[in-house]
């Protein structure tokens, strides 16, 4: 006999804005917004620090975790 494992309630990240916590007070840090459509997750990252732009796209797993890949473009040195 085995016990049923309850399904995780995946987070509703659609429309959630986020910003990295700066190492130094007053630092300009990247920010972005997540989106969700069913099991599809994507996000846009906006400029801050050395980041110029970025994108994330992924799949919401049944356990609530996100399997994703991202691409970031940083400022030229």
Question: What are the pLDDT digits (tens) for 5-57?
Answer: 455 676 788 999 988 787 777 778 888 999 999 999 999 998 888 888 999 99
Residue 55 lies in a domain: yes
Residue 12 lies in a domain: no
Q: Quote the pLDDT of residue 41.
A: 93
Residue 74 lies in a domain: no
Question: Band of the pLDDT at 75, cuts 50, 70, 90?
Answer: confident
Q: Quote the pLDDT of residue 37.
A: 93
The partner residues of 60 in beta bridges, in order of sequence, read 66
Q: What six digits make up the tokens of 49? A: 């620090």
Q: Quote the pLDDT of residue 5.
A: 47
Residue 57 lies in a domain: yes
Q: What six digits make up the tokens of 3? A: 């016990």
Number of structural domains the chain divides into: 1
Q: Alpha-carbon torsion 59, 12, 42, 45, what sign?
A: negative
Residue 4 lies in a domain: no
Domain housing 22: 17-69
Does residue 76 surpass a pLDDT of 70? Answer: yes
């Amino acid at each position: 006999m085995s016990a049923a494992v309850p399904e995780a309630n995946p987070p509703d990240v659609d429309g959630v804005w986020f910003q990295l916590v700066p190492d130094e007070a007053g630092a300009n840090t990247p920010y972005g917004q997540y989106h969700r459509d069913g099991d599809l997750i994507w996000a846009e990252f906006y400029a801050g620090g050395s980041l110029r732009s970025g994108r994330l796209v992924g799949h919401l797993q049944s356990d609530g975790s996100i399997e994703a890949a991202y691409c970031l473009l940083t400022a030229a040195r």
